[in-house]
Structure 1
Amino acid sequence: MKPGLSLRVSQHLSLTPQLQQSIQLLQLSTLELAQEVEQMLVDNPFLERSGDEADAVSDAPAEIAPAAHEYSASDSISSEKEVGQAQAASDSVAEATSAETPEALNWEADGMDGQDGEWGGESSSEWDSPSGSGSTRNRDGDGETDAIDLAREHESLTAFLHRQALSLRLGAEDCAALRFLIESLNDDGYLEDSLQELAQSLAGDDLEEREELEQRFAIALKLLQSLEPVGVGARDLSECLQLQLRDLIHAAEDEGTTEAHMNRLKLAQAICKQPMDLLARRDLRKLTSLCGAREEPLREAMSLIAGLEPRPGRRFVDVERNIIVPDVIVRPVRVSSGRVDFSVQLNADVMPRLRVHDIYAGVLRRHKSSEGHAALQQQLQEARWFIKNIQQRFDTILRVSQAIVERQKNFFVHGELAMRPLVLRDIADQLGLHESTISRVTTAKYMATPQGTFELKYFFGSGLGTETGGSASSTAVRALIKQFVDAESPKKPLSDAKLADMLKEQGIECARRTVAKYREQLKIPTTTLRKAL
C-alpha cells in the first residue's frame, strides 16, 4: 500500500464548548446545579454571587435589567422562526469567540455586556432567601416555617434513643456498648449485624475480648429493646413483632383485660414465631396445624398482627431527604366569565443570582498588555457564558413547563382522571426543540401544582384506545384502577380480569396483562393479599 494524499468533503456536527456546557447544565437537577455553581464560583474569580441589594439592578442600564420570569399559560410563546434565529445567533457568537484570539476580543462591544448585571426571576424584596439554598419560602410573608427548617428540627431515631439512654443508670462500659448498638441500627430501627459480627469488628482476632464484648452487647441489646419505640433493636421482622406483642401482653396484664383478648395476643405471638412467609401468604392451613388453633381465632390473631408496626423507625426517618424543592410553581388565576387559567412561574429560590465581578473586569480591561492577560480574558469569557447558559436553562424549563400546563390544563382542574395522553414529541414539535432536549428538561425537574408536586415526566404518558376512536392517558387509567380498588369489597376484591372488564365498560380497551402492570406500578397487592381475613 502506497502512502498518498487525498481531499474529501464531509459534513459533521461540532459542538462548541459553550453548547456542551449548555447541554450539561440543562440535564442537571436542582441540587447538582447548586453544586456546579459553587464549584464555578471557586474556580473562576470573575464570577460572583450577587447580593440582595436592589442597586445592582436599579443602577444597571435599561437594556440589561432582568426581566420578570412569570408568564401566564395563555401567553403566546416565541415562534419557531424566532427560536431558530436566536439559536443560530448563539452558535455564531460561540464559534466566533472560539476562533478569535483572546487579545482580539473587544470588551466594550463583545455583545455580552448585558451579562455583567444580575439576572433573576424576582426581586430580592419578594424572595428574601438566597437562591440555591433549597428552601421554599412563603411568598405572602405570613411567617410560616419552611420545610427544611422543619426537617432540621426533626429528631432522628438515634438521637431519640440516646436521650432515653441518659435516664438509665449504667456503668461506663455498658453505656458505651448501648451507644454502639444504637449507632449500628438502620433507618427502620433494626440491628442488621449480629452481635458476633459487631464484637469481631472491634476485637479483631482477640478471642477473649471478643467473648467479653458479645456478653456486654447481649446485655445492651436487652436494654435497647426495652426503649421506645417498641420493637427497636430487633434482628428481623419476627423478633420485631414479638417484641411489640410482648409489650401488649404486659400492658394487658396490668390493665386486667379479658381472657379472650389475652388468648388472642398469645396466639398472635405464636404465629410470629413461625416462618414469616406463611403469614405473608396467609396460609391458614399450615398455621392452623403449627399453632394448634382453629381457623376463626387464627384470623382474629392475624388481624391483630396486621395492626403492628413492621418498621419501628419509620416515623423517625429524616424527612429532609424526602423534601422536593420545585423548579416551577403553577398557581390558579381566575379570569373573566369564571374561567380559571394558570400562571407558570420559576421558583426564585433555585435560581442562582450570578454576575461578573465588575472591579476585576474593569481592571482587566485597562491592563490589556499585562502578563497573563490572555488566560484571564478567557476566564472572563467563561464566566459570561456560564451566566448566559444558566439563564437559558431556566428559560427552557419555563417554556417546556408552560407548554405542559397548556396541554394538561384539565389535570390541574380535575386531577389524574382528566390527564391527556402526551409524549415528548408533542412538546418538542410545539416548541421547535429536539426530543432529547425535552427529555433532559423533564428529568429531575419538579412542578408544584394545586394537585401536588410532580416531576415533569409525570405529565407524559402513552395513550390507550377507546371505543369512540380517541385515546385515554395511561396515568388516567391507573387513577381509575386505583379508584376501583379503593371502592371494592374487602371480602371480595376485584381480580385483574374484572378490572379489565370494568375499564371496558368505561370505553377503555385495556388487556388484563396491562391492568396487572398498572396495578404493580401502583403497588396494589394481588387479590389474595387484599382479601380481608
Structure 2
Amino acid sequence: MKPSLQLRLSQQLALTPQLQQSIKLLQLSTLELNVEIERMLLENPLLEREGADEEGGDAPAVLEMPTAEAVAAAFETSEHLANGDQDFEPATTVEMPDTITEAYDSVSDDDIGEAAEWRSEASGTRNNDGDDDSDFQEFQAATTSLRDHLEGQLALMPLPDRDRALVRLIIEALEEDGMLLQGLEELLPLIPEEWEVELEELVTALRHVQHFDPVGIGARSLQECLALQLKAREKTPTRELAIDIVEQCLELLGARDFVKIRRRLSCDDDQLRAAHELICSLNPHPGAAFAPLDARYIVPDVIVRKFRGAWTANLNPEAMPRLRIHRVYADILQQNRGINGSLSTQLQEAKWMIKNVQQRFDTILRVSQAIVERQRQFFDHGEVAMRPLTLREIAEELELHESTVSRVTTQKYLASTRGIFELKYFFGSHVSTDTGGACSATAIRALIRQMVAGEDSKKPLSDAKIAEMLGQQGIVVARRTIAKYRESLNIPPVSQRKSI
C-alpha cells in the first residue's frame, strides 16, 4: 500500500462554545439559571447586573475625622479647663466637621429621649460579652423536632436512669411519622450486655412512649396507632364500636365492605356511619406535624393576561436577569486594545452570555405565545376545553426543532388566572370522537373528575359506566383507558368510593 491524498466534501454541525452555552441556558430552570449567572458574575469581572449601582442607593457621606494632633490638643484643653485655668489659650482650634454639626443640630430633644429609651430596651438583648453585633436569625422561631418534643416530656417524668435510657432508646428508633417499625427484639442487641435488659422492660418503656403527646406515637402498626387514639378519647358507644372495627375489621373497612362489618359486629347503618366518621377523624401519622417543611416556590417565566378580549403572553420581569458589560473595564479595553488577552476573552464571553440569556427568553416568549393561541379555550373555560397539542405542531409553526421546543417547555412555568402551570402541561395525546375530531386527554381527565365528583356515593360509577357516559358525548374511550386516567388522578376504584 502506498500513501495517497484524498479530497472529500462533507457537512457537519460544529457545536461552538457559544452554541453550547445557548443550549445549556435554554434547558435550565429559572433557579438554575440564576445559579449559573451568579457563577459567571464571580468568574467574569466584565459582567455585571443592571441597576447594581442604583440598588445600593446613594453612598453614605464619609465623615471627616479629626487628626491625631487635633485630638491631643482637645485633651490638653480639657485638662486645663478642669484645673480651673481660665487664661489658657489652646494652640490648636478643634472644629467639628460640618456634616456632624448639622446632624447634631437637626436632632431634637424628643429624638434623643426616644433613642435613649430604645437603647435601654435593646441593651437587655445584647450578649454578656458586650458584643453589639446581633444575628437576627436567632430571633426566628425554632423548629421543634419530634425527638426534641418527646425528650422534653421525658425530662418531666420521675423515672430511674435505667428506665430513662430505655425510653430514650425507643424515641431514637421512631420514624419521622412517629411509628416504630423496628421490632423490640431488634433493639435488644443495641443495649450493653452488662445491663441485662429483658424484653419486658422494653415493652414497659414503649408503653411510656405511647402515653406521650401526640397520641398514637410509638405505634407498631396502623391498627395500633388508631386504637391508641381511640382509647384516649372519652368512652362512648361510638368509640367502643370504632375500637372493635379497628381491631377486628380494619381490612374490611379499607375495602369498604360495610355489609360484612355490619354482619360481624351486629350494628346498624347509623352506628356504623358514626364509627366510620370517628375513625376518619384520626391521624394515621401523628408525628408528621413535626417533620420539617420543604417549601419550594415557583417563579413563573411567563404571565398570561386577557387584553381587549385576547389572551396575551408576556415575560415576567421578576424572572429576567438584567446583565450588562462593566463600563469601567470596557473603557480600559477600548483605550488599550491588545494589551491583555485574557480580558478580551472575558469581554467576548460576557457578550455571549448577555446575548444567550436574551435569546433564551425570546424563545420562551415565542413558544408561550404559540401555546396560548392554541389553548385559548382552556383559559376561558378550563380543563374541559383543552385541545390536543404536540411539540411538533409548535415546532413547525415557529420553525424550530422539536428538541428545542422540548427544552423550552421543561421546567418553565406560566402564570394565569387559572393558576401556575408548566408549559409541558398544555401538551397531550388525543382521543378520536364520533364526529371525526379529537379530544385532549387532559379534557377527558377533567370530565372523569367531574363525573366522580357528582356521583352518588352509595352507587359510584364504574369505569365501564364512565366510558359509556363519555361515549354518549361522542368521545370513544376504552374502559382500560378510563382506568389509567382515573389512577393518574388518584381516584380510588369504585369499590373504595362506596359509602354507607
* TM-score, normalising length: structure 2: 0.71
Which segments of 5 or more consecutive residues in structure 2 lack a partner in the other structure?
A: 57-138
Aligned length: 415
**Measured at CA, do residues 509 and 188 of structure 1 come closer, stay the same or move farther in structure 2, by a change above 3 Å?**
same
Q: Give the Cα–Cα distance (whole angstroms) in 1 for the partners of residues 207 and 45 of structure 2.
A: 55
1:165 aligns with 2:152: yes
- Structure whose CA Rg is larger: 2
Post-superposition Cα deviations, 1:189-217, rounded to whole Å, max 9, x if no partner, equal 445556676787xx6x9544796999799
Aligned to 1:459: 426
Distance 1:497 1:265, change over 3 A: closer
Contact 2:302 2:368 in 1 (8 A): yes
Query: Structure 1, unaligned stretches of length 5 or more?
Result: 57-151
**Cα deviation per residue 1:8-39 (whole Å; 9 max; x = unaligned)?**
22111112111111111111112222222222
Are the aligned partners of 1:22 and 1:389 in contact in 2 as well (CA < 8 Å)? yes
SS in 2 for 1:270: helix
Contact map agreement 2:466 2:482 (CA 8 A) in 1: yes
Residue number in structure 2 paired with 1:386: 353
Write the distance in 2 (CA, Å) between the matches of 1:199 and 1:381: 67
Q: In the alignment, what sits opposite 1:356?
A: 325
Deviation of 1:175 (Å): 8.7
Q: Aligned partner of 1:521: which letter?
A: S
Kept in 2: contact 1:332–1:341 (CA 8 A): yes
Closer/same/farther in 2, CA of residues 405 and 195 from structure 1, 3 Å limit = farther
Matches of 1:244 and 1:238, distance apart in 2: 10
SS of residue matched to 1:524: coil
**In the alignment, what sits opposite 1:106?**
none
Q: Does residue 245 of structure 1 match 2:230?
A: yes
Indicate if the aligned counterparts of 2:388 and 2:430 stay in contact, CA closer than 8 A.
yes
Q: Which residue number corresponds to residue 6 of structure 1?
A: 6
Cα distance, 1:470–1:285 mapped onto 2, change above 3 Å: closer
Distance 1:192 1:344, change over 3 A: farther
- CA drift of 1:425 comes to 1.4
CA distance in 2, matches of 1:463, 1:223: 55
Alignment of 1:327 with 2:327, yes or no, is no
Question: Which TM-score applies when normalising by structure 1?
Answer: 0.67
Determine the structure 2 residue equivalent to 1:499.
466
C-alpha distance in 2 between matches for 1:175 and 1:327 = 55
Q: Tell me the equivalent position of 1:62.
A: none
Is 1:417 the counterpart of 2:384? The answer is: yes
In the alignment, structure 1 residue 443 sits paired with structure 2 residue 429:
no
Aligned to 1:107: none
CA distance, structure 2, for counterparts of residue 300 and residue 32 of structure 1: 51
* CA–CA distance in structure 1, aligned partners of residues 378 and 150 of structure 2: 47
**Aligned residue identity for 2:418:** Q
CA contact (8 A) 1:329 1:344 kept: yes
Structure with the bigger RCO (C-alpha within 8 Å, sep 6+) is 1
Structure-2 change in CA distance of 1:40 and 1:170 (3 Å):
farther
Contact 1:29 1:445 in 2 (8 A): yes
Q: How far, CA to CA, are the matches of 1:220 and 1:43 in structure 2?
A: 57
In structure 1, C-alpha distance between the alignment counterparts of 2:8 and 2:208, rounded to whole Å: 80
Q: Distance in 2 between matches of 1:176 and 1:366?
A: 75
The separation in 2 between residues aligned to 1:387 and 1:197, in whole angstroms, is 60
Q: Assess, with a 3 A threshold, how the Cα gap between structure 1 residues 440 and 302 changes in structure 2: closer, same or farther.
A: same
User: Does residue 1:430 correspond to 2:407, yes or no?
Assistant: no
Name the counterpart of 1:400.
367
Distance in 1 (CA, whole Å) between partners of 2:329 and 2:341 is 14
Distance 1:382 1:313, change over 3 A: farther
1:227 counterpart = 2:194: no
Partner of 1:483: 450
Superposition map of 1:27-426 within 5 A: 27-51=27-51, 53=53, 158=145, 162=149, 165=152, 169=156, 188-191=177-180, 206-208=192-194, 219=205, 222-223=208-209, 226-228=212-214, 230-248=215-233, 252-253=234-235, 257=236, 260-271=237-248, 277-282=251-256, 301-313=275-287, 320-333=294-307, 335=308, 340-370=309-339, 373-426=340-393
- Give the CA RMSD over aligned residues: 3.8
